[in-house]
């Protein structure tokens, strides 16, 4: 199966690491298909094409990942000395370990939070470099299928604290639609994309590669890669304000209808009127207050996030006392 030439692969081959050393790179867009269930892959390898002492497999170890929020740490490591069989004597000590902690939560079978925490350390000590050209690579990769029944927003976040490379990538139909890749030792990046309903593939990974020809090495690093999903139009948080017991702001707006339904919880004995605002602009005043009354706000902007606010005028109205509640919502498209 052909392999895609990602920036990760280009970085490793540019450093003199064989293409076969890293089989974590997903299939090319022409043949890519997401796995049926989430999987974690770990790889730790030290090798030479000409000398003895290679350790670790070029094929990663694959683990199933639970989707109930359970964290199951996994590790892979290498500890070996690569040495020449013929003079001049040459040896390179390589010690390394990569540790990965994946975490996935779902709601209704749809992933809500996908996170991969990676930390690693790698030491390479060569007394002489001539024919062996020792190399090492260690990596962790989490691949998750996203089967979305409805459109929604996916937020990718990468926090790199010394990993060789940290990457969060999203594919739809074999094409890359979002890619956050960084090799900077102290870097944070984030991006939000709107996904249509259907099948997508999310990949989070951290990688480090080294070669003896570049000199002795002793490094460690960590990275946190995260993706969060929310359906289009859903609330970004809970209802807030002193008036939240008097009015029920919805958990999401109706993107198809361009509306939001608000339910009044206060009766006429407690509330004289309710003023409804969209992004700070008053759009309606309800003067006939009834407990359980459903009020629908229409023509909400589809392409932007909105904040709904309800200001309840308390009885007696002449005193002017009010209590308010508010809630914010994602854009619909």
Domain map (residue ranges) of the chain = 7-231, 247-329
Mean predicted confidence (pLDDT) in 204-221: 93
Mean predicted confidence (pLDDT) in 230-249: 96
C-beta pairs of 184-188 under 8 Å, 24+ apart in sequence: 184/160, 185/160, 185/161, 185/221, 186/160, 186/161, 186/162, 187/158, 187/159, 187/160, 188/157, 188/158, 188/159, 188/160
Instruction: Give the pLDDT band (50/70/90) at residue 89.
Output: confident
Instruction: Give the pLDDT band (50/70/90) at residue 21.
Output: very low
Q: Radius of gyration over alpha carbons of the chain, in Å?
A: 27
Report how far residue 333's alpha carbon sits from residue 293's, in angstroms, rounded to the nearest whole number. 29
Which CATH number, 3.40.50.300, 2.60.40.10, 3.30.1440.10, 2.170.190.11, labels domain 247-329?
A: 2.60.40.10
**% of the chain with per-residue pLDDT over 90:** 78
Helix, strand and coil percent figures for the chain, each rounded to 5: 5, 55, 40
Residue 35: what pLDDT? 72
DSSP 8-state class, residue 150: S
Mean predicted confidence (pLDDT) in 244-261: 96
Q: What would the pLDDT profile of 49-74 be if each residue is shown by its tens digit?
A: 989 999 999 999 999 999 999 999 99
Residue 18: what pLDDT? 35
Phi, psi (5° rounding) for residue 140? -135, 135
Q: Is the pLDDT of residue 223 over 60?
A: yes
Instruction: Tell me if 112 sits within 8 A of 234, measured CB to CB.
Output: no
Residue 162: what pLDDT? 94
Instruction: Give the pLDDT band (50/70/90) at residue 13.
Output: very low
Whole-model pTM above 0.85? Answer: no
Instruction: Tell me if 127 sits within 8 A of 91, measured CB to CB.
Output: yes
What is the chain's mean pLDDT, rounded? 89
Instruction: Give the pLDDT band (50/70/90) at residue 117.
Output: very high
Residue 125: what pLDDT? 93
C-beta pairs of 314-317 under 8 Å, 24+ apart in sequence: 314/270, 314/271, 314/272, 315/268, 315/269, 315/270, 315/271, 315/272, 316/272, 317/272, 317/273
Instruction: Give the pLDDT band (50/70/90) at residue 33.
Output: low
């Amino acid at each position: 199966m052909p392999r895609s030439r990602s920036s990760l692969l280009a970085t490793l081959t540019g450093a003199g690491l064989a293409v076969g050393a890293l089989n974590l790179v997903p299939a090319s867009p022409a043949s890519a298909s997401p796995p049926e269930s989430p999987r974690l892959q770990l790889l730790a390898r030290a090798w030479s094409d000409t000398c003895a002492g290679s350790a670790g497999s070029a094929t990663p170890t694959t683990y199933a990942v639970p989707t109930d929020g359970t964290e199951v740490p996994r590790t892979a490591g290498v500890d070996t000395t690569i040495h020449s069989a013929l003079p001049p004597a040459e040896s390179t000590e390589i010690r390394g370990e990569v540790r990965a902690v994946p975490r996935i939560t779902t709601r209704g079978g749809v992933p809500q939070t996908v996170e991969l925490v990676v930390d690693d350390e790698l030491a390479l000590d060569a007394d002489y470099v001539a024919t062996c050209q020792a190399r090492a690579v260690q990596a962790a990769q989490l691949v998750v299928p996203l089967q979305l029944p409805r459109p929604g927003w996916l937020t990718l976040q990468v926090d790199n604290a010394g990993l060789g490379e940290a990457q969060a990538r999203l594919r739809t139909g074999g094409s890359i639609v979002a890619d956050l890749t960084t090799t900077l030792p102290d870097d944070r990046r984030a991006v939000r994309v709107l996904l249509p309903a259907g099948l997508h593939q999310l990949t989070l990974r951290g990688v480090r590669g080294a070669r003896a020809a570049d000199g002795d090495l002793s490094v460690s690093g960590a990275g946190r890669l995260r993706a969060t999903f929310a359906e289009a139009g859903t609330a970004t948080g809970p209802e807030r304000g002193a008036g939240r017991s008097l009015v029920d702001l919805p958990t999401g707006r109706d993107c198809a209808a361009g509306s939001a339904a608000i339910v009044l919880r206060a009766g006429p004995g407690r509330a004289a009127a309710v003023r409804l605002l969209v992004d700070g602009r008053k759009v309606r005043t309800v003067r006939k207050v009834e407990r359980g009354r459903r009020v629908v706000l229409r023509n909400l902007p589809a392409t932007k996030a909105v904040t709904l606010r309800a200001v309840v005028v308390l009885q007696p109205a002449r005193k002017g006392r009010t209590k308010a509640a508010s809630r914010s919502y994602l854009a619909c498209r």
